[in-house]
Amino acid sequence: MLGSRRRAGVTFWRTALVVLACAPRAMAADTPAAPSPGARSITLPEAIAFAHAHQPAIRAALARVDTDRAAAKVPRAEWQPVFGASAQIYAATPNNTTASYLAVDDLALPRIGGSRDVSTSSATWQPYASTLVGVSAIQEIFDFGRIAANAAAADARVQVGKHGADAERLDLDLSVEEAYFGVYAARGVLTASKEAYARTKEHRDFARAGVGSGLRSPIELTRAEADLSRYEIGVIRAQGGLDVAEVVLAASIGEPGGAFDVSGVAPTFGDLPSLAEAIHTASSRDPLLQEALSRLDVQEKTTSAIGATLRPNLFATGAISGRAGGGTPSGTGDSPSGAGFLPDVPNWDVGLVLSWTLFDGVTLARRDASRAAEREQIEEVSLFRQREIAAVEQAYVRVNTAKSAVPALESAVAGAEANYKQADARFRAGLGNAVELADAEELRTSAQIQLALGLFEVARARAVFGRAIAEGL
């Protein structure tokens, strides 16, 4: 189950890597994002709140919880009385004895009353009319814990649904966070691409003037023109990447067809707890593990409920009826009016009934099967615990690894920018050539891309770690 849950953020992460690889990038967490034309600006808390209110996955999960709550009311409804009514007419033989009995579901045999008492030797095959109308009520008196066992199992299923809804919400939060940081990444790509294009255009114009004055070789201009075209393509791709990122963000929060832009500076996360604290938090709060524990609880209560069906059942019954039979009555009784077609002979009864299924092999087999399912669920819980610990440990290491790489990436950017300034100064002074300047520009933009990937990985790794320990609950 843990591996079967797919998130939109995974797909976006792959898309973001492609976007970052298409053009130069310089993402600074403290740089406010400029608004994108035609897109609605939104903060990360607003995006998550919007997703909770509009994402169909959340509404579907909550609807499943409501369904489980409604189903949990069914066992308790057995305490309510059952009323029934019946009107019957038969063409049947009137042979009768003095036996009386209560008709039950498993014995669909109408009682014959008011006709003569005969032996087998004087029985007749001649049919007579017989009619019956009546109203009855059945009220549960004592169930020996059967209803309570069924209700407990139903309540446990509600808890399973709640934990499943929490897992859906945390997965959704992670996908929104990934998409949100992806917009920052795509916006940085566009900004850096435009800056690289502007610098390359300035160098192209400078080279053109030098070639025109005869101070530079024509190859300086052709190289600058080629670099300018390359960075122009980078701007086009970066703009497309930003458009895609905004659409992905809109889809992740439940507004497909729209476009959402980030607002303000990139949000930051709190400090990491210790690994031991993280594992403890995940074990006590992660909804997937809690869902597995709830499923085990459901199975245990289901086993108890199956066994409870073999307990006795005590209920009260009462009925008012009218009947008549067209057969000749026994003794000196009068023949009923209407020849059995008019049920004008009144009767009433009240009773207390104790029923008990002493042995049912099918029920016992179902109980044994449920106990076997309990053992399976116990192993599932152990598996979930193991996976949870592994996921927390991996996320913890990835966050620290991503963070530790940022200073080196920032140093690489600073060195590349210093190298570019030297190459630019040499080029303008006539000491350097276009190839040297192009290499410096490529080194600078490559360092910016690596820093962007590093910062994005820090944000994403921290979001994944927060999901692993159910930080949003």
* Six token digits for residue 306: 């199956």
Name 350's bridge partners. 318
Residue 301 pLDDT exceeds 70: yes
Supply the DSSP string of 147-183, one letter for each residue.
Answer: HHHHHHHHHHHHHHHHHHHHHHHHHHHHHHHHHHHHH
Angle at 149 between CA 147 and CA 151, to 5 degrees: 70
What is the three-class DSSP state of 82?
strand
Pairing, β 313-325 against β 128-142: antiparallel
Residue 436 pLDDT exceeds 60: yes
Distances (CA, A) of 423 to 223, 230, 415: 15, 19, 12
Q: Helices 275-285 & 287-308, crossing angle to 10 degrees?
A: 40
Tell me, what's the pLDDT at 380?
A: 92
Hunting for tokens 């509404």 — which residue is that?
59
Non-local (6+) Cβ contacts of 258 within 8 A are 40, 247, 250
**Whole-angstrom distance, CA of residue 158 vs CA of residue 312:** 28
Non-local (6+) Cβ contacts of 124 within 8 A are 93, 94, 95, 118
Question: Is the entire prediction scored with pTM above 0.75?
Answer: no
* Six token digits for residue 466: 């927060």
**Whole-angstrom distance, CA of residue 297 vs CA of residue 370:** 12
Hunting for tokens 């320990």 — which residue is that?
469
* Six token digits for residue 126: 């001649």
pLDDT digits (tens, 9 = 90+) for 16-71: 444 444 444 333 334 444 556 667 888 888 889 999 988 888 888 889 999 999 99
**pLDDT-based confidence at residue 8 (cuts at 50, 70, 90):** very low
* Six token digits for residue 149: 């066992």
* Six token digits for residue 192: 């850096």
What is the three-class DSSP state of 133?
strand
The length of the chain is: 473
In the predicted model, what is the mean pLDDT of residues 217-224?
86
Closest CA to 462 of 264, 173, 241: 173
Domains plus CATH for the chain?
8-75+149-302+363-468 (1.20.1600.10), 83-144+313-354 (no CATH)
Query: Is the CA virtual torsion 427, 432, 435, 437 positive or negative?
Result: negative
Distances (CA, A) of 313 to 107, 296, 333: 18, 28, 39
**pLDDT-based confidence at residue 428 (cuts at 50, 70, 90):** confident
Buried b / exposed e across 231-254, counting CB within 10 Å, b at 16+? beebbebbbebbbbbbbbbbbbbb
Q: 38 vs 265, which has greater pLDDT?
A: 265
Q: 180 vs 19, which has greater pLDDT?
A: 180
